[in-house]
Amino acid sequence: MANNSDSVLQIENYIDGEFVETARYMDSVNPARGVVWAKVPDSGEEELNRAVSAAKKAFETWSKTSVQERSRCLLKMAELLESQLESFAEIESRDQGKPVSVARNVDIPRAVYNLRVFGTAILHHLEMSSFQEDFFALNYTSRLPVGVAGIICPWNLPMYLLTFKIAPALACGNTVVCKPSEMTSVTAWMLCKLCTEAGVPRGVINMVFGTGHRVGDALVRHPDVRVISFTGSTLTAEKIRLATATQCKKLSLELGGKNAAIIFDDVNLEKCIPTVTRSTFINQGEVCLCTSRIFVQRGVFDEFITKFVKSASTITVGDPDDKDTWMGALISPEHLAKVSGYVNLAKEEGATILTGDEPDRIKLNSKNAKGYFFPPTVITNVSDNSKLMQEEIFGPVVCVVPFTTEDEYGLCASIWSQNVNTVHRVARQLQVGTVWANCWLVRDLHMPFGGLKNSGVGREGLIHSVDLFTEVKTVCVQL
């Protein structure tokens, strides 16, 4: 249902199986064109309360629905989503600014996969049992759904992350109230249309659109919301922790990163350069796992810099609809200002901008003239304690320096070395949730995902998401 015309699309909340109008709406902008292209509900407490009530009521039935039926609904959603992959990809790109090709090859296929993985995992045995000979006692566990789950997502990977939370929550028998980012709400609304078609009962999935400080805050505070899965910034997570401090909710917080690539002298540069280019600039650098500082051992530093800068400077930035575009637009003018502010700071600090600072770097056609584009930027000669090395920039800007190690954030890191001992030794030392060696973003959904320190609390991933969305009960029976 790609809306190619200039007319503005209006989306609605999805509550208790119905699309419902709201009193207030706000603008959603197409970042590649800088124009309003959708009106999104600016929901508040009233809409939220209705959604939670619907989810609570639906929980009574959904939590007792057979796993086969829950699985069937998720698999049907996956099938429907896959059949509409192209229109979801186009809309994801229009809403977010990423190239359509990225949404087509990464975001939407992964959303389909999320639904399939959790839709099938739940069919398998996830309980434990043991027998204690000395007490002649049988122990077993059973998993119970938690209740109404609150799901809050950021703007960078809208469908990818939303389905990574909805799928396990539903598979485990919970009902959900979701709050996508106010900047990228449209594909979540499209997903609701599939829910009805997939036979998901009313009230099981509810979607309330709006800002974090209004409806997001109301969602996390609601006493009937028993578990919250949040992905977003460290600052918002702090607010959520404070807002929920007096309630015993389950919380999973997947937050920002300041991810490092560590490149040793014995690196295979042929493999490393394209992967590190990708890990740094894909999705305009707007992936929580994107590399934003590169530590290079001195022996290979010059060669790495030359090859990496060459690779970064050949990236095509432009119209997300263009099949040759590799990098699209940043999400908003505010974010563009934030990212360019870091590059200005680098200049003030006397750092060297190796690529990115050429005035003609981005060539745009007239329809994209007001878009929020920023070139792939590589910086060196930066001190370790510069903000550029310490703070999450979340854009296509990377600093390259000779070796050091210090980590404030701990989401992920990548190691580049052909020496297996180096790989394991460094992997063990790094204080991050995920280490990739000689690769990046090779994600197995069975594996736990999450961060340390300011990068988050809790893990998501197959059994880890099941742990989040269930309460495990131990029963001990003496025979």
**Which residues inside 310-329 make contact with ligand NAD, applying CB under 6 A?**
none
Give the nearest residue (CB) to ligand NAD: 212
**In this chain, which stretch among 26-34, 187-195, 234-242, 464-472 interacts with ligand NAD, using CB under 6 A?**
234-242
Rounded to 5 degrees, what angle do the CA atoms 327, 164, 330 make? 20
Q: Residue 250 Cβ, how far from ligand NAD at the closest point, in Å?
A: 16
Strands 456-457, 250-254: pairing is: antiparallel
| Those residues with Cβ within 8 angstroms of residue 477's Cβ, 6 or more apart along the chain or in another chain | 137, 138, 139
Specify the DSSP element, H or E, that contains 177: strand 175-179
Give whichever of 164 and 416 is closer to ligand NAD, judged by the CB atom: 164
Q: How far apart are the first and last CA of the chain?
A: 61
Is 395 a residue that touches ligand NAD (CB under 6 A)? no
Give whichever of 194 and 240 is closer to ligand NAD, judged by the CB atom: 240
| Those residues with Cβ within 8 angstroms of residue 147's Cβ, 6 or more apart along the chain or in another chain | 56, 59, 174, 175, 224, 225, 226, 227
Specify the DSSP element, H or E, that contains 415: strand 412-416
Q: Residue 144 Cβ, how far from ligand NAD at the closest point, in Å?
A: 26
| Those residues with Cβ within 8 angstroms of residue 84's Cβ, 6 or more apart along the chain or in another chain | 190, 194
d(CA 93, CA 87): 10
Does the active-site annotation cover 254? Answer: yes
For 55, 174, 236, the CA distances from 149, given in Å and listed in that order, are: 9, 7, 18
Determine the size of the site formed for ligand NAD (CB under 6 A): 31
CB atoms near residue 86 (< 10 Å):
13
Is 203 a residue that touches ligand NAD (CB under 6 A)? no
Q: Check if the beta carbon of residue 155 is closer than 8 Å to that of residue 183.
A: yes
Give whichever of 93 and 311 is closer to ligand NAD, judged by the CB atom: 93
Q: Out of 12, 90, 92, 254, pick the active-site residue.
A: 254
Give whichever of 267 and 411 is closer to ligand NAD, judged by the CB atom: 411
Is 231 a residue that touches ligand NAD (CB under 6 A)? yes
Is 301 a residue that touches ligand NAD (CB under 6 A)? no
Q: Check if the beta carbon of residue 40 is closer than 8 Å to that of residue 76.
A: no
Is 220 a residue that touches ligand NAD (CB under 6 A)? yes
Is 217 a residue that touches ligand NAD (CB under 6 A)? yes
d(CA 435, CA 439): 9
**Which residues inside 142-181 make contact with ligand NAD, applying CB under 6 A?**
152-157, 179, 181
Where are the strands (E) in 234-348, listed by range?
250-254, 259-263, 291-296
Is 232 a residue that touches ligand NAD (CB under 6 A)? yes
Give whichever of 152 and 272 is closer to ligand NAD, judged by the CB atom: 152
Is 239 a residue that touches ligand NAD (CB under 6 A)? yes
Q: Residue 213 Cβ, how far from ligand NAD at the closest point, in Å?
A: 5
Q: Check if the beta carbon of residue 36 is closer than 8 Å to that of residue 29.
A: yes
Give whichever of 326 and 394 is closer to ligand NAD, judged by the CB atom: 394
Is 211 a residue that touches ligand NAD (CB under 6 A)? yes
- Token pair for residue 195? 């829910």
Q: Check if the beta carbon of residue 342 is closer than 8 Å to that of residue 332.
A: no
**DSSP H stretches of helix in 104-173:** 108-121, 158-171
Is 65 a residue that touches ligand NAD (CB under 6 A)? no
Give whichever of 209 and 416 is closer to ligand NAD, judged by the CB atom: 209
- Exactly one of 41, 168, 212, 375 binds ligand NAD (CB under 6 A); that residue is 212
Beta bridge pairs of residue 25: 41
Is 216 a residue that touches ligand NAD (CB under 6 A)? yes
- Exactly one of 256, 285, 328, 356 binds ligand NAD (CB under 6 A); that residue is 256
Q: Hey, what amino acid is at 99?
A: P
Give whichever of 256 and 371 is closer to ligand NAD, judged by the CB atom: 256
Q: Residue 288 Cβ, how far from ligand NAD at the closest point, in Å?
A: 3
Residues that bind ligand NAD (CB under 6 A): 152-157, 179, 181-182, 211-213, 216-217, 220, 231-233, 236, 239-240, 254-257, 288, 392, 394, 411, 451, 456
Q: Residues with catalytic annotation?
A: 254
